[in-house]
Chains A and B, each alone.
Chain A
């Protein structure tokens, strides 16, 4: 499950994930967030993930809030 966290790490909202074998008991990933505020355009929040893999590339769409207002941003697994 991809989800966003807010106010339990310093900085704005960020995307992370949790895993489960039975959909009822979840283990949170406790490492670095998948996406967190780092650029001007997502300085305030980088959150609300939609993640998919296509042709060997992972696409992570999210809602970015920052210098350009609130819009839809993308991060990928390759440059």
Chain B
């Protein structure tokens, strides 16, 4: 409390931006109402009213009143409850003001710390008036509380001017910013929403409170228009992110709920900012109130949970009893027994969950690969089938209900693969698995200690099961490779799923692959059996699975809060303080001689190694770079240790350091003997037996190259444009006895490709057009700007064009729209037998070969693809014979970046990597 009091400022209301003064008032209102409801007592209500009256007097439009909003929303949710309870006009006035004043620079100074990119006005949703907001931004709990309050205000006042903002923000969250577990909040810094589709799995935040706030908001959106899509999201949150936020035993909590882990997080018994446990406690007793809803003479059956309830319909109370056979594990036998007293006509709306009819979420953000179908759902009243006519996700049964009438619903619980929108970069090339509303994950404890090293060979799954690709018509709902089993966690026998996978392991250098089985457990149940690796989005290709080290790590000592895993993990520290990675340290030992050691299953040849030293001076830790390091090896398991003479060990901060042996040695065990400096300890953030990662080109080498290639003498235009034309993109090559330039010419409609000739590289003469625009209606009808492929890249070499299959090749940028570089532009391929001839190059039938709309397109290339530079790489180091670098622009900012693709035949191109090779800035 001391810290909170200091933060509140010297006097009341003096630091509303950062203090939680008004937030606490909201929590007090909620507590008092709950206390009143449960005990009937007024003592806490009296305290609450004094506080609310004070706030009502203090904040308002009067001259002596303050015009401010809560720095952290919460009264926006609580006050509507209070208004429903007491209907005090002053309460409604506060609700309106707190919502209307937000983002109003014309009424009050906006919140936000000048110069801060984290705590800006958007952090407080104070960047725009709420009615003008269209995207979820800023602190995720604050944001969802605000949206909940806005939905409440709309419900209470009918103020439809709030509706466009609510709908747009909802589309933004559920279509672009929500995790498959229902969680929100991508950024740790500021506990914030990220950009569209920015949903990092391991580094995501997904605060438990934020997911609860999201659930509260979804339910209020449902109350506005009775659409089951909001309940679909609510249910997803409930069974996944929410359930994971608290341990099965109910005594430990996740504040942060990542979708992947390297084994460095587990639930906390307590948290310094204890909001999440209290929020969980608040929701659990309320759960029943979300199961049903009523409107007039309509009863909504929303959630499947065994319960007895009395519901108030227009025509009188109705009693219901809900039973099931073990939902969410079993979907059969969901039953609702109706008791209206005397027979009476009204409607019951039965929710058919999206997941049971092929929609993972109500948007296209996540899609079932083997989709569920409505054919698998059955609904009956008193044993007589009911037609599944859906309206807003419900089947409406209107009839005269008699005591004992029974609605029975049966949903198929089939394991399903889910894929994310291709714009979610973190989930590209990955699949998640769900069963009913429950998301699954893989934990190390069920999978030989490692899961991050495994992938599910998608080609096998896709081919044999006719999944994905969108081309096969046969897409069975049940995938045979997903086998159902059980795993016991905390004494609960939970349905698990097993599927074939490939495990990658790494020795000193070589990576090995072996068949494996992945066992998946419900996501909410993770981290109950010790801290370990966890993965929700399973890679479908080898390049996304990090090989696990096969050896055993040991050390003379490891500080109890550190881990030997820090050595073997392929983590990439940003600096030696290791702020965001696991540490290994000898703390509290100081000035001693210590060691770390790797034992290998069999002797291997070792030469260059890499080590990353821990030095946490920057964070006031007790570890510094060591004084001296000696390398020792054991040629065989029980052989004596030998010191490697002449080995050099770099000891430096903030970068990977090389350990170089004078010659390769064969070893089954390697040890670094580390002499600590006096009075300080030491540690490591990683130690790899493989050589250093691909090195940056050293500055002196870069300088040397610059001196070699620089051209300080400008010679002016060598091809000057005529009126009405523009010339661009020169490519110069030698053919037989002359120099040629291929360039492109814009004539007002689009680009075409031209040729010029020179004898001395300085004076150039235009020869004419060698590549005209495509025919009318073609994809390249307006643009055809090409440049030659396979230029000989040897410096000071022949400067000729190389051939492939006896032909000269060109890649070109084609487009159907007129104008200067009008999006979208795609890539075509053409060829000729003589690049010096003034004749048309020939288009290839497979065009276009690269498009910004390709599913494999990465974020940076989704608006348009520009120019290419194609070389031959006989070593196939990048995975193909031909390597193509191209620049492209993204949809959001239209900034350009350079990407890479490879091909073996010039026509079929595979993109390499998930990100750009070079970016702006």
Contacts and interface: CB of A to CB of B under 8 A. Distances in A.
Given A24-B917, A27-B697, A72-B727, A50 B732 contact: yes
Contacts of A74: 714-716, 718, 761-762
A49 to B, nearest CB: 9
Nearest to A35: B711
Contacts of B717: 41, 64, 68, 71-73
Given A27-B702, A48-B730, A75 B721 contact: no
A1 B697 CA distance: 13
Interface in A1-23: 1-3, 5-8, 17-23
Contacts of B867: 48
A20 B710 contact: no
A70 B821 CA distance: 14
B726 A17 contact: no
Name the residue among B694, B714, B873 with the largest chain A CB count within 10 angstroms.
B714
Contacts, number: 155
A64 B716 CA distance: 9
A78 B713 contact: yes
B710 A77 contact: yes
Contacts of B719: 71-72
A25 B694 contact: yes
B283 interface: no
B896 interface: yes
Contacts of B710: 34, 58, 77
B657 to A, nearest CB: 18
Contacts of B898: 3
Interface stretch (B352-360, B478-486, B877-885): B877-885
A54 B799 contact: yes
A61 B743 CA distance: 11
A53 B795 contact: yes
Contacts of A64: 717
Contacts of A22: 694, 877
B878 A71 contact: no
A59 B711 contact: yes
B713 A76 contact: yes
B79 to A, nearest CB: 47
Interface in B689-704: 693-697, 701-703
A64 B726 CA distance: 10
Contacts of B873: 23
Contacts of A59: 711, 732, 761
B712 A61 contact: no
Interface in A46-67: 48, 50-54, 58-64
User: Which bracket fits the contact residues of A?
Assistant: 35 or more
B86 interface: no
A32 B713 CA distance: 14
A27 to B, nearest CB: 4
Given A22-B877, A50-B732, A63-B727, A73 B714 contact: yes
A27 B711 contact: no
B732 A52 contact: yes
Name the residue among B701, B706, B708, B887 with the largest chain A CB count within 10 angstroms.
B706
A17 to B, nearest CB: 7
A71 B706 CA distance: 25
Contacts of A42: 714
B741 interface: yes
Given A19-B702, A61-B718, A8 B728 contact: no
Given A3-B918, A29-B706, A61-B718, A71 B711 contact: no
B541 interface: no
Contact of B921 (A1, A8, A29, A34): A8
A68 B731 CA distance: 21
Contacts of A52: 732, 799
B278 interface: no
A70 B709 contact: no
Contacts of A32: 706
B720 interface: yes
Contacts of A26: 917-918
Given A50-B732, A59-B761, A20 B697 contact: yes
Contacts of B883: 23
B715 A1 contact: no
Contacts of B918: 3, 18, 26, 28
A70 B725 CA distance: 8
Interface in B662-715: 693-697, 701-703, 705-706, 708-715
Contacts of A73: 714-718
B796 A53 contact: yes
B706 A39 contact: no
Contacts of B730: 48, 50, 61-63, 72
B711 A58 contact: yes
Given A5-B920, A58-B711, A73-B715, A21 B697 contact: yes
B715 A25 contact: no
B574 interface: no
B703 to A, nearest CB: 7
Nearest to A7: B920
A19 B705 contact: yes
Contact of B713 (A1, A24, A70, A75): A75
B878 A68 contact: no
Contacts of B765: none
Given A61-B741, A68-B721, A79 B761 contact: no
Contacts of B705: 17, 19, 29
A39 B720 contact: no
Contacts of B56: none
Name the residue among B697, B746, B762 with the largest chain A CB count within 10 angstroms.
B697
Shortest 6 CB-CB distances between A and B: which pairs? A70-B726, A27-B697, A72-B719, A60-B711, A75-B711, A61-B730
Given A17-B709, A29-B702, 12 more contacts: A5-B920, A7-B895, A8-B920, A23-B878, A25-B694, A58-B708, A58-B709, A58-B710, A70-B721, A71-B720, A72-B764, A77-B711
18 contacts: A18-B918, A20-B697, A22-B694, A24-B878, A24-B912, A31-B703, A31-B706, A34-B706, A42-B714, A48-B867, A51-B711, A58-B709, A58-B711, A68-B717, A72-B718, A72-B727, A74-B715, A75-B711
Interface of A: 1-3, 5-8, 17-32, 34-35, 38-39, 41-42, 48, 50-54, 58-64, 68-79
